[in-house]
Amino acid sequence: NTEEWDALKQAIVKDKKSIDKAAAYAGIEPRLIVATLIGEQIRLYHTKRELFKSYLGPVKVLVTETQFSLGITGIKAHTAARIERFIKDTASEFYISKRYEHLLDYPDGFADTTARYLRLTNDKNHYYSYLYTGLILHSIQKQWQKAGYDISDNVGVLITLFNLGFSQSEPKPNPEIGGANIAINDNVYTFGGIAFDFYYSGELAKEYCKRFQTSATR
């Protein structure tokens, strides 16, 4: 029940085509990508009020990070580089399957920090931000499945691990929801907790229904 949330919903709906496309290629549920996006955008708008005044409030657009974290879901440059490597490395615990190996190939075949940065910080087209996000979520699901723990239905934990990073993803029984703390109207939430609350709410249910399966996941 905040003006930030009302504006954020409008901004997310504008990106539906890119979100659905990225989710289909990444083999992940669109609503999971949206839940991850919401965690990061809400964190930004409630820790940096000037961003809301400049971007989301007047023009209903998502904030693209360009410094310590990149893009609209706050992916670190080294995390993006790791997912590029993991989707090709059959020996990696995060390897998904052969069909995903070339999704992040660069046109000239050469990946460098500048090309990666430009992909993730493109504020006119967020497709790659969503694609990297979906592949990170899928690779973490796969890691836990290989270890005998399926967290595909544990939305809060899955997105908590996205927030914490690959190095903190250690398959185990009874994982907990957490991640970065976010203060909203004198209440403290966690990154994973906000994602969980959104996912199981009725918000944006028409645009991104729960358990929507794309052709790429079947």
Residue range 13-24, pLDDT digits in tens: 999 999 999 999
The Cα 87–Cα 95 span in angstroms is 5
Q: Report whether 155 contacts 195 (CB < 8 A).
A: yes
Residue range 194-215, pLDDT digits in tens: 999 999 999 999 999 865 444 3
| Radius of gyration of the chain, Cα coordinates, nearest whole angstrom | 16
Strand locations in 129-196, DSSP E? 181-184, 187-190
Parallel, antiparallel or unpaired: strands 70-71 and 181-184: unpaired
Q: Count other Cβ atoms within 10 Å, centred on residue 36.
A: 30
- Rounded to an integer, what is the distance from CA 182 to the centroid of its chain? 17
Residue range 135-168, pLDDT digits in tens: 999 999 999 999 999 999 999 999 999 999 999 9
Residue range 43-74, pLDDT digits in tens: 887 776 666 566 666 667 788 888 889 999 99
Once rounded to an integer, what is the mean pLDDT over residues 3-18? 89
